[in-house]
Amino acid sequence: MTPGRLVCDLKISSKELVQCKSYDLTELARTLLHKQRLELGPERLQNMYRSVSTLGAFPRGLVFRVPGH
C-alpha cells in the first residue's frame, strides 16, 4: 500500500464514520485525537535529512500515541 493511497482511504472512511467540518489529516487529528499534527512541507522535510539529530525527530512528528491502545 502506498502512503498516498492510505491517506485517500483514511479520508473516505472518516467521512463515513465521523462528522467533521473538514476531513483533512490536520483537522481529523485535532478533532478525534486531540493532538496537533505537525505539517511537513517539502522544504522542511528535505532539511530534516541534513543531520542525524533532525532526522531522528522526523518519526516523532508523525506518530500519535492514543491512550488505551
Report the predicted TM-score, pTM, of the whole model to 2 decimal places.
Answer: 0.52
Residue 24 pLDDT exceeds 50: yes
Q: Which position has the grid cell 465521523?
A: 18
> Is 9 within 8 Å of 19 (Cβ atoms)?
no
pLDDT (mean) for 19-30: 82
User: Mind listing the pLDDT tens digit for each residue in 32-43?
Assistant: 888 887 777 788
Distance CA 69, CA 67 (A): 6
- The sign of the torsion formed by the CA atoms of 46, 48, 50, 56 equals negative
